[in-house]
Every structure is written in structure tokens, then in C-alpha cells.
């Protein structure tokens, strides 16, 4: 176990600012590359702890995956494996749920499993709608959880009703239908990240988006020769927040960021707080808007109110960070409609509250979210992360603005989504160090 040690001491900025590629897009392009014929060349894949298990799973499924000098070459899944592989997707719910959908569509038998942190998280969000379309799926341990055995399914066209706003659930159903070559009408009232739709559109499929969902008319899978993944807005959010927490006056600009509006909720929330946020030089890259993000200025708002479902899903992974922003505002901020946070890498309603309280913040939790009372001075502290990367990175970003030494427990979890987090934060001038001795000295 390692810890992160953070302080407000400035460190020299360096050119080694390796912000990672988007994790969600990385998962999706790997899956699509492995389901299409011919070799795909992928650049900018986020080689984090949540993506590596998917690469290993694809190899077990017979697809070659060669990683060379930042470029990845991905072959095709063997649909006729003699024995059904047991695929362990480690801690990654996206990898497990999306791969499950894809294999159902391809008619490949396998067992999908995860580590002890993933097993208790719900997989029925995906299994039940797929069963409704004819998928043969069996829970092997506990109802609604991994591991799940995929039988040799034949998917039929139809309507899939989703009970949660999860983009992973919708993506799993869309990938299943696409791989099986059947039309599907996904009924889901909430709009969450739409990378799968954009990718399938770029592959010639027809997608009709309505207020109550999206329908897919698939096109025969063509080849998928090349894709370059833009920077992950959910990772970019940490140096941006640290910059603002520190009250730095000069603008911070980061280029090559995925600026898909289903992902920019945190930056829009900063704008609501009075920060000048601008998006510039936007180009269309493989159907995704990619450009420069610039932030500048100081807080000029009393409090935050985050309870619109579309906004919530556009910043679902940045809610802990937005809660940290709320500690900087004078008033009482409220985060509602956030029940899905219970099913993240930790119960993020409780873990966000516990982490912020460690700094002295006043946070009250409820079943569907929490409130943060601003205007309370925070102090450097030893903060728990619960092994949840988003909680650890939020605590570290906050720690870089507080006088004295902040220690973040289980700091190694940052690798789940952000390889070399500490080094990258230092590259931006923020004092974050990983200490593998666990602070024993």
C-alpha cells in the first residue's frame, strides 16, 4: 500500500505532463477494434488499471494486442474458441459490462468475472435487458452480480428497458445489438455519456436519439483501421481543480481534451461558480469534439445545486471534486439525485463525505446525495480514499492548496484511471508524491 503526500509547496513545472487518454473511449475502441476484421491501430489508449484487464481479456479471447511506442495494434476475437474462457476484468465495471454485451452479440461463450471490489457491484442493469432480447446469461454466485456465464446466445431485435441512467448499461446493449446485427430500441430517460453512439455512427450505423432513449439500426461491421483517443476530461479535471483551489491567477490551458458535452459537466459547474471556462479550437475527431480547455479566475457564487440528471451524468465521476469545490463557496451546496454513486468503486456518497470531513468540511449525507456547508476553513490532514481513485485524486488536489502536509491513504488506487498521477500533477507544479513505504518512516 502506498500513500500520496501533498502540500501547497510550489514545484517547478516540467514538460512531462502526461495526461491520460479518455478511459471510456479507450474501453469502447478496444472492444470495437477486437470485434471488427483486420488490424486496428489505436493511439492514446489510457493504459490504466481499469483498461489493462480488458486488454488481457481480449488476448484470452484470441485477439492479438501489441503495445508499441504509444500505438496499439489490435486483432480480432476468435469466435470459435474450444473452451469458454474465464475473463477477470479486475476492478473495471465498464470493461466487464461492455465486454459482456459485446460477447453476447458475437455469440461467444465465456465467464465474466471481476475482483473482490467489482463482484458486489450490480451487473443486472446489463444482464436483465439482454435476457429480454434473448441472451443466455447465468449468475454463478449471487443474483445480480458477477461472475456471469454467457451461453451461446442468439440475440433478437426488440426493446430494452433500462432502469438506471448508466451509460455502461446502454453501451452494453448497443454493442450487443451491433455485434449481433439486430436493431434495438433502448428506452432510457436519462442522457449520459454517448461515446458508443458516436462510434457506432462513425461505423455507418443509424442511431435515432429521442428524449426517452435511442434506437440503433446496425450496419455490417466494417474494418476499424485507426483511432486516436483524446485526453480524458475526468482526468484533466484534477490539475484544473488544483489550479483553482490554489487561486492561481494565470489561465491554465490544456489542449487535445475530449469536450463531448455529455462529459463536460464539471467544467460547466465551474462556470456556474464564476470561473471563466472556454473551449477553443474544437475539431471533430472520429465523431468526438476535441479541443483546448482554458480556465481562469476566481469563485464568484454562493453555492452549488447539482440535481439535474443530465448535468449529474455529465459529471458523474467528478462529483467528489465538485463537492470539494463546494467547500470553497460561502453557502450551503446540495447534490441530489445521486443514488447511482452508491454503486461506484466505493459508496461515493459516504466516501466523499468522509474524505472531506477529514479536512474539517461540514458534509451531511442523505440517501440520494449530500450537502456541503461552505465557508469552513479546511486544514491539511490524513484523508481516507477507501481505495477509490476519484476520492484519492480529489483529496490530493485539495491537499495541494492547504498549508502543511496532507496524506492520502491507499494512493496506489489512482492508477485505476490515471497512470502516473503524482508525476503528472508535479509536472503542472503541484506537490504530490507517491510514497510506497506507506508513510511508515
Indicate which residues carry an active-site annotation: 317
What separation, in Å, do the N-terminal and C-terminal C-alpha atoms of the chain show? 14
Q: What is the DSSP string of 372-384?
A: EE-S------EE-
Nearest partner of 93 among 287, 266, 286, 317, judged by Cα:
317
Show the binding pattern over residues 270-309: x = contacts ligand S3P (CB under 6 A), - = does not: ----------------------------------------
Closest approach of ligand S3P to the CB of residue 229, in Å: 12
Q: Which residue from 76, 166, 352, 406 is in contact with ligand S3P, where contact means CB under 6 A?
A: 166
Nearest partner of 182 among 292, 94, 105, 287, judged by Cα:
105
30, 54 contact by CB (below 8 A): yes
Q: Rounded distance, CA 150 to CA 109, Å?
A: 5
Q: Which residue from 94, 182, 240, 293 is in contact with ligand S3P, where contact means CB under 6 A?
A: 94
Q: Which residues, listed in sequence order, are joined to residue 294 by a DSSP beta bridge?
A: 253, 278
Rule CB under 6 A: say whether 117 interacts with ligand S3P.
no
Closest approach of ligand S3P to the CB of residue 93, in Å: 6
Q: Which residue from 8, 117, 168, 262 is in contact with ligand S3P, where contact means CB under 6 A?
A: 168
Sequence-ordered strand ranges (E) for 179-251:
184-187, 206-210, 213-217, 226-228
Rule CB under 6 A: say whether 317 interacts with ligand S3P.
yes
Residue (134 or 287) nearer to ligand S3P, CB: 287
Residue (5 or 94) nearer to ligand S3P, CB: 94
Q: Rounded distance, CA 106 to CA 110, Å?
A: 11
Rule CB under 6 A: say whether 389 interacts with ligand S3P.
no
Residue nearest to ligand S3P (CB): 24
Rule CB under 6 A: say whether 316 interacts with ligand S3P.
yes
Rule CB under 6 A: say whether 349 interacts with ligand S3P.
no
Rule CB under 6 A: say whether 193 interacts with ligand S3P.
yes
414, 7 contact by CB (below 8 A): no
What are the counts of helices (DSSP H) followed by strands (DSSP E) for the chain?
A: 13, 23
Check residue 231 and report its DSSP letter.
B
Rule CB under 6 A: say whether 232 interacts with ligand S3P.
no
Residue (193 or 328) nearer to ligand S3P, CB: 193
Rule CB under 6 A: say whether 46 interacts with ligand S3P.
no
Task: Please report, as residue ranges, which positions from 13 to 32 form the binding site for ligand S3P (by CB under 6 A).
Answer: 24, 27
Q: Rounded distance, CA 137 to CA 149, Å?
A: 6
418, 235 contact by CB (below 8 A): yes
Residue (192 or 410) nearer to ligand S3P, CB: 192
Q: Which residue from 89, 103, 127, 167 is in contact with ligand S3P, where contact means CB under 6 A?
A: 167
Nearest partner of 51 among 300, 179, 229, 277, judged by Cα:
229
Interface residues with ligand S3P (CB under 6 A)? 24, 27, 94, 166-168, 171, 192-193, 316-317, 340
Amino acid at each position: 500500500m502506498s500513500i500520496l503526500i501533498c502540500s501547497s509547496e510550489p514545484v517547478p513545472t516540467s514538460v512531462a505532463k502526461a495526461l491520460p487518454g479518455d478511459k471510456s473511449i479507450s474501453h469502447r475502441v478496444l472492444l470495437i477494434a477486437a470485434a471488427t476484421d483486420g488490424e486496428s491501430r489505436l493511439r492514446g489508449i489510457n493504459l490504466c488499471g481499469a483498461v489493462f484487464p480488458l486488454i488481457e481479456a481480449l488476448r484470452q479471447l484470441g485477439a492479438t494486442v501489441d503495445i508499441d511506442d504509444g500505438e496499439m495494434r489490435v486483432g480480432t476475437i476468435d469466435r470459435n474458441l474450444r473452451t469458454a474462457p474465464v475473463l477477470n476484468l479486475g476492478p473495471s465495471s465498464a470493461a466487464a459490462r461492455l465486454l459482456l454485451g459485446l460477447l453476447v452479440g458475437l455469440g461467444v461463450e465465456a465467464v465474466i468475472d471481476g475482483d473482490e471490489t467489482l463482484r458486489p457491484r450490480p451487473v443486472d442493469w446489463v444482464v436483465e435487458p439482454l435476457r429480454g432480447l434473448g441472451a443466455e446469461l447465468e449468475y454463478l454466485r449471487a443474483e445480480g452480480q458477477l461472475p456471469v456465464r454467457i451461453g451461446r446466445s442468439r440475440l433478437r431485435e426488440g426493446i430494452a428497458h433500462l432502469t438506471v441512467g448508466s451509460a455502461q448499461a446502454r453501451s452494453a446493449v448497443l454493442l450487443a445489438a451491433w455485434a449481433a446485427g439486430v436493431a434495438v430500441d433502448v428506452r432510457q430517460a436519462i442522457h449520459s455519456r454517448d461515446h458508443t453512439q458516436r462510434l457506432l455512427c462513425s461505423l455507418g450505423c443509424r442511431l435515432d436519439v429521442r428524449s426517452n432513449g435511442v434506437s440503433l439500426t446496425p450496419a455490417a461491421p466494417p474494418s476499424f483501421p485507426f483511432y486516436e483517443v483524446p485526453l480524458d476530461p475526468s482526468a484533466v479535471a484534477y490539475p484544473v481543480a488544483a489550479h483553482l483551489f490554489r487561486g492561481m491567477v494565470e489561465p491554465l490551458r490544456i489542449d487535445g481534451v475530449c469536450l463531448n458535452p455529455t462529459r463536460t459537466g464539471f467544467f460547466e459547474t465551474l462556470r456556474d461558480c464564476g470561473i471563466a471556462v472556454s473551449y477553443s479550437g474544437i475539431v471533430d475527431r472520429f465523431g468526438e469534439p476535441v479541443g483546448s480547455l482554458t480556465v481562469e479566475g476566481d469563485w464568484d457564487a454562493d453555492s452549488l445545486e447539482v440535481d439535474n440528471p443530465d448535468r449529474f451524468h455529465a459529471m458523474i465521476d467528478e462529483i467528489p471534486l465538485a463537492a470539494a469545490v463546494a467547500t470553497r463557496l460561502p453557502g450551503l451546496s446540495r447534490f441530489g439525485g445521486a443514488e447511482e454513486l452508491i454503486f461506484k468503486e466505493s459508496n461515493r456518497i459516504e466516501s466523499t463525505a468522509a474524505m472531506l470531513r477529514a479536512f474539517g468540511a461540514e458534509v451531511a449525507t442523505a440517501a440520494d446525495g449530500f450537502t456541503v456547508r461552505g465557508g469552513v476553513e479546511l486544514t491539511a490532514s490524513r484523508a481516507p480514499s477507501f481505495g477509490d481513485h476519484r476520492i484519492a485524486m480529489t483529496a490530493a488536489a485539495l491537499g495541494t492548496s492547504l498549508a502543511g502536509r496532507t496524506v492520502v491513504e491507499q494512493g496506489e488506487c489512482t492508477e485505476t484511471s490515471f497512470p502516473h498521477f503524482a508525476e503528472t500533477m508535479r509536472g503542472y507544479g503541484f506537490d504530490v508524491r507517491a510514497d510506497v513505504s506507506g508513510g511508515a518512516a
